[in-house]
Structure formats: structure tokens, C-alpha cells
């Protein structure tokens, strides 16, 4: 049942509904003890799935709360309730990277955004945290100019196919920008050669080849997703072209064959981001160094 304006979660006053997504609602709230606005992200009880997945979600959410990095959406607190769990988050006034790219981004701005994402990944990876759904909808651009990566801990909840042992996995958008899904990405049937797994929860267009084949997402997989984002930022289009059917899109993602435009002057390190072999990709700190060097 939605939280009403004026209701409370402990010291958090609920002020307004910001959006509704697959996981639950997102609210604007106010922390009356610390006197600051916050975002309240709901994870409904029916979306908690297996106890092991919920345990990991809570563990990672608390680990994120210990991170204080300017390019990560700050997690202030995790509230556990019978009806739902709630993440109390930094409230970011701005737009998603997906929305920003629709208006076009010049090269200098593209590399600035890419650097900020790489810095966020480097900080998270240093703590053993990986993002299971890095995409343009999970990067927020604040009106102050800051770049914020969001939803690290939420991706394990995007589908419960593995917990139920079914032959399907859900690929759903799970980001603070509401229920707007990526195009042509409903629930995806996986064939016998690519069985479902708990980590097959991210948006197909940004998946690493190994994740699309059913392997666990890793730091190297995050770097591949960053490569896709940089490709979009620098070229104005996705490397897979126009929207494909779900089956074609998944097959393309599994191949991982992406050619950077020959006329695009980039350090070789950036081209390595989309290497099909994860062992050939740079680390997040290496990307940070390359982008800072210009």
C-alpha cells in the first residue's frame, strides 16, 4: 500500500510520491532529525524473493552506506519493515543520463561523464561491490553538474527466476527515473545452452557478453557496460543500432563484437573496454588514469 504524504518511517517524513517502478515506489522525504531532504526507495515484500538474495541486498546496501564518494548516490540508511524494505538515499535533483543523451553531448562532456562513472566504479570495486545493471538510466546528472551512479544494491531483486529455478529471467529497468522500460526488453526466455542465473537481471543493451551468456557479473563486466555508455556518449547512438527483437538483441549481446568508429580519436585503453574477453579489459582505476590524462 502506497505511503501517504505526511506518514512516517521512523524519523523520515514522507512528502510526495516521485515515481513508481517494478521494485516499488520512490518518495521524496525529509529526515527530521538531520534536517535534510532524502529519497525513499521501496523494495516491496513480494520482490524480496529468496532469503539469500535479500541477505545479500541488505549486506551490499549497508556496505554502500559506508561509502562516501561524490559520484555515488549516497545510501544513508536501510530500514527493514514487514511490508517492505526501504533505502534512505541522497535526493538528487536532475535527470538521467538517458534523458541527457537525447539532447546530445559533446566530446568534452562525454569524457567528463565517463570519468565520473569510472571513478564511482573504482570506489565500489575497491570495496568488492559490483553494479549488476549499469546503464544510462542508472546514472543521474544533478543540476549542480555532479554525476551520480545509482542502484548498486537493487539489481539482484530485478527477477527471481533463479530462486525459483525456472527457465526464464526477467530483464527489467530498475532505476530512480521511474517505470520507463528500455525498448523491446520483456521477460526473456533463455535456451538450454544459457540457463538462467540470479545475475541475469540487467538491461540487455548494456550487458557484457559473459553476463548475457549466464555468467556472474564482475568488475570487468561493469567496465564493458561503461564502454557501451562511452560509445553512446561519443557517437550519439548505441553500438547495436536500432532496437532489435529480444532474441536478436540477446544474441548480439552474447557475441560482444563492437567496433569503435575508426575516425574517433580515443586512447587504446578505451577501446579495450568492450573487448569480448574480460581479461583484456582495463580496470576502473586504469580508465580513470587514461581519462584524466586526456
Residues with a known catalytic role: 133
User: Three cell numbers at 93?
Assistant: 535533483
**Is residue 165 helix, strand or coil?**
coil
For residues 214 and 196, what is the distance between their CA atoms, to the nearest angstrom?
Answer: 6
**Is residue 234 helix, strand or coil?**
helix
- Find out whether 31 and 88 touch, Cβ atoms under 8 Å: yes
The cell 543521474 sits on which residue?
Answer: 140
For residues 123 and 218, what is the distance between their CA atoms, to the nearest angstrom?
Answer: 14
User: Three cell numbers at 91?
Assistant: 535526493
Query: Which phi-psi region, left, alpha or beta, contains residue 6 (left: φ > 0; alpha: ψ -120 to 50)?
Result: left
- Find out whether 89 and 175 touch, Cβ atoms under 8 Å: no
Q: What are phi and psi of 29, to 5 degrees?
A: -135, 180
Amino acid at each position: 500500500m502506497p505511503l501517504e504524504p505526511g506518514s512516517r518511517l521512523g524519523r523520515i517524513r514522507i512528502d510526495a510520491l516521485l515515481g513508481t517502478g517494478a521494485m516499488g515506489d520512490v518518495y521524496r522525504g525529509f529526515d527530521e532529525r538531520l534536517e535534510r531532504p532524502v529519497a525513499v526507495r521501496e523494495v516491496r515484500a513480494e520482490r524480496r524473493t529468496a532469503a539469500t538474495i535479500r541477505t545479500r541486498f541488505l549486506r551490499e546496501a549497508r556496505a554502500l552506506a559506508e561509502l562516501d564518494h561524490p559520484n555515488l548516490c549516497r545510501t544513508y540508511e536501510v530500514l527493514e519493515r514487514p511490508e517492505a524494505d526501504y533505502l534512505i538515499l541522497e535526493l538528487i535533483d536532475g535527470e538521467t543520463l538517458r534523458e541527457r543523451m537525447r539532447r546530445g553531448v559533446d566530446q568534452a562532456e562525454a569524457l567528463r561523464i565517463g570519468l565520473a562513472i569510472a571513478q564511482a566504479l573504482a570506489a565500489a570495486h575497491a570495496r568488492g561491490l559490483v553494479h549488476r545493471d549499469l546503464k544510462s538510466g542508472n546514472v543521474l546528472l544533478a543540476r549542480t553538474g555532479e554525476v551520480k551512479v545509482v542502484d548498486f544494491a537493487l539489481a539482484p531483486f530485478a527477477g527471481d527466476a533463479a530462486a525459483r529455478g525456472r527457465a526464464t529471467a526477467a530483464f527489467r529497468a530498475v532505476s530512480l527515473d521511474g517505470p520507463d522500460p528500455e525498448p523491446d526488453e520483456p521477460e526473456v526466455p533463455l535456451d538450454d545452452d544459457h540457463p538462467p542465473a540470479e545475475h541475469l537481471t540487467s538491461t540487455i543493451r548494456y550487458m557484457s557478453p559473459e553476463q548475457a551468456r549466464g555468467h556472474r557479473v564482475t568488475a570487468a563486466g561493469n567496465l564493458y557496460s561503461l564502454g557501451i555508455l562511452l560509445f553512446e556518449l561519443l557517437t550519439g547512438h548505441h553500438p547495436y543500432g536500432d532496437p532489435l527483437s529480444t532474441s536478436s538483441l540477446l544474441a548480439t549481446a552474447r557475441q560482444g563484437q563492437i567496433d569503435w568508429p575508426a575516425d574517433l580519436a580515443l586512447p587504446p585503453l578505451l577501446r579495450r573496454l568492450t573487448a569480448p574477453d574480460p581479461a583484456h579489459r582495463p580496470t576502473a582505476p586504469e580508465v580513470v588514469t587514461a581519462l584524466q590524462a586526456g
